[in-house]
Amino acid sequence: MADYVPYLKLTFDGAQKMLAAGIAKATAMGQPQCITIVDDGGHLLAFARMDGARVLSIDSSRKKAMTAASNRVPTGGIAAANELKLAIATEGKMTNLMGGLPIVVDGHVIGGIGVGSGTGEQDLEVSKAALAALPGAKTF
């Protein structure tokens, strides 16, 4: 068994590219958003709350990003019967709201993005646009 493995890391510059693309998409849609980008450990790298975005979406966008990075899959796919149990078990850190995507490059999860303040479909659309700005990132 290996003592270490190769590791990719999302940089601040990469997170900023994604944030700018997300803001541009939300602006084009006419839907102000809160956009959060975290590293693979769920730590904040970049954040924006656009003018007009809901204040409580600050927290939901962060939790979407953390959940996507931790679970390594898009948010919104957890069985409804398990949503509340997982939220309680993680002290509210995990969410099943749409709009969170893992950031995957070369098979490595290097972070997560979470968007909130629109409908789930709008949040997901902005997340996808932000993710597309990162060269080599897996699309969902």
Distances (CA, A) of 32 to 15, 22, 24, 53, 109: 19, 10, 10, 5, 27
Average pLDDT (5-12) is: 92
How does the average pLDDT of the chain come out, rounded?
96
pLDDT exceeds cutoff 90 at 5: no
For the stretch 78-109, pLDDT in tens is: 998 998 898 899 998 999 999 999 999 999 99
What's the pLDDT tens digit per position in 44-74? 999 999 999 999 999 999 999 999 999 999 9
Q: Would you state the structure tokens that stand for residue 49, as one six-digit string?
A: 């709350």
Confidence band for 1, pLDDT divided at 50, 70 and 90: confident
In a domain, 52, yes or no: yes
Structural domain count, the chain: 1
Whether 75 is in a domain gets the answer yes
Domain containing residue 90: CATH number: 3.30.450.150
pLDDT score recorded for residue 13: 98
Q: Is residue 61 part of a domain?
A: yes
Phi then psi for residue 10, to 5 deg, are: -75, 125
Query: Does the structure show a pLDDT above 90 at 9?
Result: yes
Q: Taking Cα atoms as reference points, which of 121, 120, 102, 119 lies closest to residue 111?
A: 102
Residue 3 belongs to some domain of the structure: no
Written as one letter, the residue type at 125 is: E
Range of the domain at 42: 16-132
Higher pLDDT, 78 or 14: 14
- CA neighbor of 64 nearest in space, from 24, 36, 32: 36
- What is the gyration radius of the CA atoms in the chain, in angstroms? 14
How many other C-beta atoms lie within 10 A of the C-beta of residue 138? Answer: 15
